[in-house]
Amino acid sequence: MTTYKAPLRDYRFVLEELFDGAALARLPGYEEATADTIRAVLEEGARLCEEVLFPLNRPGDEEGCAYENGVVRTPKGFKEAYRTFCAGGWTALACDPAYGGQGLPHTVNFCLEEMISSTNLSFGMYPGLSHGAYRALLLHGSDEQKQRYLPRLVDGSWSGTMCLTEPHCGTDLGLIRTRAEPAEGAYKISGTKIFISAGEHDLTENILHLVLARLPDAPAGTRGISLFLVPKFLPGADGGIGARNGVRCGSIEHKMGIKASATCVMNFDEATGFLVGKPHGGMRAMFSMMNSARLGVALQGLGLGETAYQSARAYAAERLQGRSLSGPKAKDKPADPLIVHPDIRRMLLIMKAQNEAARALAAWIGIHIDIAEKHPDPAEREAAEDLVALMTPILKSQFTDGGFAVANLGVQIMGGHGYIREQGMEQLVRDARITQIYEGANGIQALDLVGRKLPMHNGRLLRRFFHPAERFIAAHKDDPALQEFVLPFAKAFGKLQQATVLVAQRGMRDPEEAGAAASDYLRLFALTAFAFMWARMATVSLPKLGGDEAWFYKGKLATARFFMNRMLPETSSLLTIISAGAKPLMALEAEAF
């Protein structure tokens, strides 16, 4: 069976030691977000995830959602768990107090999202989509829309969705055909959307669909897309449930994973909708929701990877198989535990190094999201926004590719027992696979990085990562105790700088050069960012080897050494691949494939 305990000690490390989490309480509106408050919130969140959500994960996967005549039923126990979730105020955690929220930092919500994803990703899809809808309305809705709908999303009594994809188009949203016809202060929305997570379910009394559609006078392409709010039930005069709207679930998908999350075909038949933001401004509004969702998906990859690691570690510590190559270690037993074998340790260390670097990087970006929203200095807000924008595609890709790889390593460590359903590891693999696809497939994230983020504002976004990296290297490269961590990071950073120049120069001459390099460049950037995190974690851990928690810091340093010596060298091959250019990819005629 899979096992999970929330990594509360690691949260304290990244929020209280690695980064200045106390600075959150100095931001306007976050005065109550002290270290003690954050600890208490995360401890309660861990209890909820471990005791309420985790026990429903496997049975929810086995039962799945049921569809009948337009009605979707979630698995047994989900409604009760959702009521508990809402009653505890978890839907309101990082929401504005003006609408009933608790007003805690997004950084804290990042930790909660990881724990939810570790224990029950399917369940987490429902409040996760609602929070994305909340963000879109908060940023782009009218005052009337905010007052009417946000309190319902915040308390969890209503939920939200994001309706983009259509049967003939996914990534290329410029091809959408859903229509919006003006109709007496509102619009009539007609069309079909597919792959709509949480599009229909029995957890909330109403569902608010945020729908991309075209007005009659819309220009072609993405410039002609508008965003509309289409409630399942129209609000009544008292703000409660009114008439049923013209939107129905036509079917649900039978999927590889996340089976307890309803993935729906949604049919809009002259459904009443309300414009959100400006006409033809739908993409900008939707990206507010999508960028939040992409970071949420990144945390899904991390969460699944954490459960896979903990479960594989427990199995390797107990399963007796063979003898250590250097001689028996458990002499009183017929065989040694798996964990004595070098290849098992290699896999476990890859898992540990991936997860802990990702958690540190997530905390760094989470803090900058809070700075971007709350800091009184516009220059500080701009710098933080730039870093978050730059790193969003990197986190989405690296965390989800890593989560899938870690879950697969978990299967490998457990062998045949990992492959069968009863142990639960194979569910983590199936659930993790979708994270690399939805909210923009990882290849699209790479194109976003090289095609939009690198050249944006004449390279200003890129400098938000490069400059702190350069300052860190300059400050620590001459410290003998830190050179084994800082110098490998510095070399990888040099390769990233070299690759950046190559991609920029070649991409200006031929866009296919940038496209051919994109995925490998993103991976190179991600490994360099992980090296930055591990070098910083080593810097914090080295002075603390003599205390009561020396075991914790020794573990950090050992994992940092493993990453620098066994994982970071991949940057050399990535630079070689990037340098090869587009010709090896593009020379083959399509007919020859």
Residues 6+ apart with CB under 8 A from 109: 93, 94, 131, 366
CA atoms of 428 and 529, how far apart (whole Å): 26
Q: Tell me, what DSSP letter sits at residue 243?
A: E
From 166, 156, 171, 162, select the one nearest 137 (Cα to Cα). 162
Asked whether residue 196 falls in the same domain as residue 270, the answer is yes
Give the angle 29-33-36 at the CA atoms, nearest 5°: 165
Asked whether residue 183 falls in the same domain as residue 133, the answer is no
| CB-CB neighbours of 576 under 10 Å | 11
pLDDT computed for residue 547 by the predictor: 84
Place 118 in a pLDDT band, splitting at 50, 70 and 90.
Answer: very high
pLDDT computed for residue 237 by the predictor: 84
Asked whether residue 204 falls in the same domain as residue 87, the answer is no
Q: In this structure, what CATH number is given to the domain that contains residue 198?
A: 2.40.110.20
Using a 10 angstrom Cβ sphere, with 0-12 exposed, 13-18 middle and 19 or more buried, the burial of residue 241 is middle
Asked whether residue 257 falls in the same domain as residue 122, the answer is no
Place of tokens 């009544």: 236
CA atoms of 404 and 395, how far apart (whole Å): 14
Asked whether residue 447 falls in the same domain as residue 575, the answer is yes
Asked whether residue 196 falls in the same domain as residue 128, the answer is no
pTM here?
0.97
Structural domain range at position 126: 8-143
| CB-CB neighbours of 563 under 10 Å | 28
From 308, 297, 347, select the one nearest 57 (Cα to Cα). 308
DSSP 218-234: PPSGGGG-EEEEEESEE
Residue range 278-292: mean pLDDT, rounded? 85
From 93, 99, 228, 213, select the one nearest 160 (Cα to Cα). 228
Asked whether residue 109 falls in the same domain as residue 187, the answer is no
Asked whether residue 99 falls in the same domain as residue 173, the answer is no
pLDDT computed for residue 240 by the predictor: 86
201 within some domain: yes
Residue range 141-160: mean pLDDT, rounded? 97
What are the residues facing 214 on neighbouring strands?
179
Asked whether residue 457 falls in the same domain as residue 589, the answer is yes
Residue range 430-434: mean pLDDT, rounded? 98
Asked whether residue 49 falls in the same domain as residue 134, the answer is yes
Q: Say if residue 28's pLDDT is above 90.
A: yes
Among candidate residues 143, 178, 198, the one where a domain is terminated = 143
Lowest mean pLDDT among 16-25, 65-74, 103-112, 167-176: 167-176
- Tokens describing residue 486: 């800082």
What are the residues facing 276 on neighbouring strands?
227
Q: In this structure, what CATH number is given to the domain that contains residue 93?
A: 1.10.540.10
Residues 6+ apart with CB under 8 A from 422: 1
CA atoms of 128 and 162, how far apart (whole Å): 11
CA atoms of 366 and 370, how far apart (whole Å): 7
Among candidate residues 143, 178, 210, the one where a domain is terminated = 143
Give the E-state strand segments of 328-427 in sequence order.
none
User: How many folded domains does the chain comprise?
Assistant: 3
Task: Please provide the average confidence, as pLDDT, over all residues in the chain.
Answer: 96
Place 288 in a pLDDT band, splitting at 50, 70 and 90.
Answer: confident
- Catalytic positions are 439
From 466, 454, 407, 462, select the one nearest 434 (Cα to Cα). 407
Asked whether residue 129 falls in the same domain as residue 97, the answer is yes
425-435 vs 378-414: helix crossing angle, rounded to 10? 140
From 39, 13, 11, select the one nearest 25 (Cα to Cα). 39
pLDDT computed for residue 11 by the predictor: 98
